[in-house]
């Protein structure tokens, strides 16, 4: 559940625009945002994401992380 808690909710997320340059976890449609090295990223279309700089997550990784432990 730690992963699910990191996703957040409208009640717990910070207000205002998101800051991708400080994201530790990102769920994207397209991998077209600059993300810090070491970020975990799930992207439907990874595009320009650099796999040697970020940790690319698969759909299975996302689902497995939501499973109760």
Residue 66 or 32, more confident: 32
Q: CA-to-CA distance for 11 and 38, rounded, in angstroms?
A: 27
Q: What mean pLDDT comes out for the span 15-37? A: 83
pLDDT at 60: 92
In-domain check, residue 34: yes
Domain around 38:
1-8+23-48
41 found inside a domain: yes
pLDDT at 52: 94
**pTM for the predicted model, two decimal places:** 0.70
60 occurs within a structural domain = no
Give the number of domains in the chain.
Answer: 1
In a domain, 68, yes or no: no
pLDDT in tens, 31-61: 988 899 999 999 999 988 999 999 999 999 9
Whether residue 61 is contained in a domain is answered as: no
Residue 44 · residue 57 · CB < 8 Å: no
What is the pLDDT, as a whole number, of residue 7?
63
- Other C-beta atoms closer than 10 Å to the C-beta of 35 total 22
Is 15 a member of any domain? no
For residue 30, the SS3 value is strand
């Amino acid at each position: 559940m730690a992963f699910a808690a990191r996703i957040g909710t409208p009640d717990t997320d910070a207000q205002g625009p998101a800051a991708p340059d400080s994201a530790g976890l990102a769920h994207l449609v397209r991998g077209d945002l600059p993300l810090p090295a070491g970020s975990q990223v799930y992207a439907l279309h990874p595009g320009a994401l650099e796999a040697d700089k970020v940790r690319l997550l698969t759909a299975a990784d996302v689902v497995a992380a939501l499973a109760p432990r």
